[in-house]
Structure 1
Amino acid sequence: MNPRALVSLALRSLWHRRTSALLTVLTLGLSVGLVLSVHRLGRDARSSFASTVSGTDLLVGARSGPVNLLLYAVFHVGDATNNVSWKSYQDVAASPEVAWTVPISLGDSHRGFRVVGTTTGFFDHLRFGDQQAMHFSSGHAFADVYDAVLGARVAHALGYTVGTSLVLTHGTGVMATQQHADKPFVVTGVLAPTGTPFDDSVFVGLDGIEAIHVDWQSGMRLPGQSVSAEEARHADLTPKTITAFFVGLNSRLSAFSFQRAINDYPDEALLAVLPGVALQQLWSIVGVAEQAIRAIGYLVVAIGLCGLVTTLLSMLNERRREMAVLRAVGASPATVFALMVAEALLVGLGSCVVGLVLLYAALALAGPWLAQTAGLRLALAPPDAAEWALLGLVVASAFVAGCVPALVAYRRTLADGLQARL
């Protein structure tokens, strides 16, 4: 029997048992869709992680650990173990190898969102994604002591626009209860979405951070020494310490030597890390969960294939008459074997199609929500090499799974044929 006729016969056979075949395709398709979704989510999450601080050569903070520094300085998770003195920052910034630096000062918040004290260089030099620069969807960068710029998700979640007044809170998390109500800020700009943790940040100038703390010491307001917002404006607002700073070098070839020079800085215990290296270390920790979920997905696919074998085996007794008719019209045992394998392959191919449809439906429906709430951008891109390999593996597994009932049918029809001759 030629392949076209065999496929046509297999399709008619499946259509005759369309209910059980459809359920099998849907079950296996859900499994394939789950594995593809886990792979796509992991791939795009890794890409999102890696693109958070593209274009930055070094990240410098107080000596702790590379992952810890990356978490609190870039992803705003946790807090710094210590600060960096302003003198040390100026010494590094004045080095001839340095093209630009961007200092940041953390420790305050607004309604659960981190406040980042920085300079306008943050919007000029930091890049995300494929070397994309930050843009303002409305307004402009801060120019006054009490100006503030909002990340896209902050503005969306709180309903703030340019001109909105806001009050910063001392500290972060559930312990942030003391407000700087005497020194309110005004929103001057809203950043366009970046898909990074910066979307969840409120940006103010370093002088603004100093202004709201002129009458504070060691995290406490000084009793009886209240300084008004206007008086603070005219005080010395030069920072004494900062949390960390980003560094861009004139030549990336000097990154390793300059990193060693900062780590050996004699006046203060500093740590310089290459963001890409630290991201790889972070992903090696986070990626364990991805691998576990992916393993569960593979297990679900294996269970679906076992269900395919079970379905085909359970129908063999019902199809004995069908096989006898095929033999009577001249079909050989090999043809019966090929028919059963063809049916399994068609179920496998159908499951792959269903899995792809479910994947892209999930990306289309959940993609905007994930981008808005988690800053994770899922690409509606064609399957990559790994996904094609996975789909090929599913089809090959369906072929192997189909060989089991096909072999049983082959032996049974062969025995039936011998009995007919006797």
Structure 2
Amino acid sequence: MLQVSYIRDNRDKVLERLAVKNFKQPELVDEIIALDEKRRQTQNQSDNVSQQANAAAKQIGELMRNGKKDEAEAIKANTGKWKEEIKQLAEQLTALETELQDKLVVLPNLPHTSVPKGVSADDNEVVLENGSKPELPANALPHWELAAKYDLIDFELGVKITGAGFPVYKNKGAKLQRALINFFIDEAEKAGYSEVGVPLVVNEASGFGTGQLPDKEGQMYFVNEDELYLIPTAEVPITNLYRDVILKGEELPVKNCGHTPCFRREAGSYGAHVRGLNRLHQFDKVEIVQIVHPDQSYEVLEGMSLHVQSLLQKLGLPYRVLRLCGGDMGFTSALTYDMETWSAAQQRWLEVSSVSNFETYQANRLKLRFRNAEGKTQLAHTLNGSALALPRIVATLLENNQTEKGIKIPEALMPYTKFEWID
């Protein structure tokens, strides 16, 4: 959530940056500024009346001590009026603050100045491309056919148990999943991240803190009776570990990682591009999260991007890095890099990771602060990234490494799979 003081002091810049995200309600900016002005005026009125009441109470006490009861009673006659006025102003203040909050949560985060303008994924900027695309024989199979051929994943069995988008991993397919999770966690720990195990359901306050609510409630599974949400990403519970926390400056950066299943309704997703593992309602992911000093967040973002790239390199997967345009960015992000691997059988790029800097947007919602060198509290910057999401990694590993003999396991994974081939 943007800070009101920043909006008030930087109106034109806010409007300019919101335009890069194609925000459709720019009039909210002036409405927020006007509401804030009214709120501050009301607060001042309340403070002034309270000061009058306090001063009168002090004066009454002095008059009573000096035996001037009649004068004291004359002043006391006004105390009821002041109490009523203070009560009315408090009610007005509460209403104004609620209205202001309702408008603030509608504003997305401001994009960084490096974010390109654009309206869709077609306008994203390719930052780099790494590795050679493998050339497969004409009879090469897509991953869903390879999964059936080698009895790795059963999509129909998942439909029977739950519904479409909930696959069942079997045999070496299940072992490959577990191997990838352990590999990603070990690599994160080598990079200085501490592993945490977190709940898979969160309350509304947690969803609000990281910005999923009220923006993405339609994409989240909701447990009505308990008013809890299944997590769409481990980012939500891991970041919320620090909600309402004031960190010491020397504790920064905070670096956590965790593996969780993720649950997404993916409403409206259909067509050939969602076949197999391309788009699921439940999938596993290892997440990396950092809480850092504001002066260091963009340097940290680059480092997180390099960490994800190192995983793809060790798996031998060709990939590219995209800087997302304003129209394709997440609601809470100031700058996002997407990493995509090349699917040789499908002949297209598949997104396998997003790494984002949220600056103070999440921290302001979370009330996540640190004590700076001057001893004052200020909002931290939060960042997170997929390192990595498993389904499309599995898809490209199966497709790109298929041979007449079987599917070759990358060398980096062999200590985890304990096998070299899927055959």
| Bigger Rg over Cα | 1
**TM-score category of the 2 structures, normalised to the smaller one:** under 0.3
TM-score, normalised to structure 1, is 0.22
In terms of fraction of residues, the more helix-rich structure is 1
Which structure's relative contact order is higher, taking Cα pairs within 8 Å and 6+ residues apart? 1
TM-score, normalised to structure 2, is 0.22
